[in-house]
């Protein structure tokens, strides 16, 4: 299944783009690893989508998520450290961690109405390394495997948005027989670089809208349950 990062039926002249903000904690010591940031970003998106503040009618996130889902699926990655990171805790969010990485996901908002606490945080330019000699993460039973396309160069910030898309599409599109155990297990995620190994009907593919870094229509990632 290939799914674009824009929702079906969205008019070409969409007049009020909405975005979901991901904020990555980037301290100088320890500096989070690239792959850990991606794992945390993917989990943060699904945790927000399944949070009771989203799923309960009238919940704190419910209306914003519904409005965002009816538009293009945009995610913006920001970064913060020190006091700027601490300040974002005052805004309702979910948080996911992996290794030394921490990522917070906040309720979607109109692109031109960024919450005040997020507005000063830098967008773009986030490009982190993985530890030297780090190999592919091992398979974990019940985990979602997200594979980044090996032919597409992306910064850490861009890749974080793409794995967030992949995790969201996997949750929304793949069979409940696969996603229910994933939820029960805490939404474990494995991120690696490589071509898809699952057949088209057993995975979701992310086709980018082309707003940043890559041309429109580029397949950036695929996701599925490989074990």
- CB burial class (10 A; 0-12, 13-18, 19+) of residue 207? middle
Number of domains in the chain: 1
In a domain, 120, yes or no: no
Q: Does any domain span residue 121? A: no
Is 180 in a helix, a strand, or coil?
helix
Per-residue confidence (pLDDT) for residue 72, from 0 to 100:
84
Tokens of 157: 């910030």
Residue 135 resides in a domain:
no
Q: For 53-67, 87-101, 121-135, which range has the lowest pLDDT when averaged over its residues?
A: 121-135
Q: For 160-187, b where at least 16 C-beta lie within 10 A, e where not — what string?
A: bbbbbbbbbbbbeebeeeebeebeeeeb
Is 201 within the bounds of a domain? Answer: yes
Alpha helices in 124-223 (DSSP H): 156-173, 176-184
- For 54-75, the pLDDT digits (tens) are 999 999 999 999 999 988 889 9
Helix crossing, 176-184 with 156-173: angle to 10°?
120
State how far the Cα of 146 lies from the Cα of 195, in Å rounded to an integer: 10
Task: Please say if the pLDDT value at position 137 is more than 50.
Answer: yes
Q: Is 224 helix (H, G, I), strand (E, B) or coil?
A: strand
Predicted local confidence at residue 95, as pLDDT: 98
- Name the strand (E) or helix (H) holding 77: strand 74-80
Token pair, residue 159, equals 């890749």
Q: Which residues make Cβ contacts (< 8 Å) with residue 91, sequence separation at least 6?
A: 106, 115, 117, 118
Tokens 């601490």 — which residue? 86
- Residue 14 has a pLDDT of 53
Q: How much is the mean pLDDT over the chain?
A: 90
* Residue 225 DSSP symbol: -
Q: Is residue 188 part of a domain?
A: yes
Mean pLDDT for 164-192 is: 96
> How many helical (H) and strand (E) elements, i.e. helices and strands, does the chain have?
6, 11
Q: Let me know if residue 27 belongs to a domain.
A: yes
Element (H, E) at 42: helix 34-50
Confidence of residue 176 (pLDDT cuts 50, 70, 90): very high
38-to-25, 43, 50, 125, 197 alpha-carbon distances in Å: 12, 9, 19, 15, 20
Residue 215 resides in a domain: yes
DSSP 98-132: ETTEEEEEE--EETT---TTTTTSEES----PPPT
Domain enclosing residue 194, as ranges: 2-8+17-113+140-224
At 97 the pLDDT is 97
pTM of the model: 0.91
């Amino acid at each position: 299944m290939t799914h674009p990062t824009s929702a079906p039926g969205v008019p070409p002249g969409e007049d009020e783009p909405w975005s979901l903000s991901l904020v990555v904690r980037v301290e100088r010591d320890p500096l989070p690893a690239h792959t850990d940031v991606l794992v945390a970003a993917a989990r943060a998106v699904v945790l927000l989508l399944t949070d009771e503040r989203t799923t309960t009618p009238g919940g704190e996130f419910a209306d914003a998520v519904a409005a965002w889902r009816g538009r293009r699926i945009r995610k913006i990655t920001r970064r913060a450290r020190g006091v700027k990171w601490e300040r974002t805790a005052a805004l309702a969010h979910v948080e996911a961690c992996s290794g030394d990485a921490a990522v917070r996901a906040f309720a979607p908002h109109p692109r031109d109405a960024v919450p005040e606490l997020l507005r000063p945080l830098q967008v773009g330019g986030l490009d982190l390394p993985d530890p030297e000699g780090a190999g592919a993460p091992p398979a974990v039973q019940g985990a979602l495997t997200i594979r980044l396309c090996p032919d597409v160069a992306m910064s850490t910030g861009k890749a974080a948005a793409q794995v967030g898309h992949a995790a969201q599409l996997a949750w929304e599109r793949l069979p409940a027989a696969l996603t229910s155990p994933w939820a029960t297990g805490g939404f474990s995620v494995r991120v690696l670089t490589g071509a898809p190994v699952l057949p088209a009907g057993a995975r979701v593919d992310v086709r980018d809208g082309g707003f940043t870094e890559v041309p429109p229509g580029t397949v950036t990632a695929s996701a599925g349950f490989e074990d």
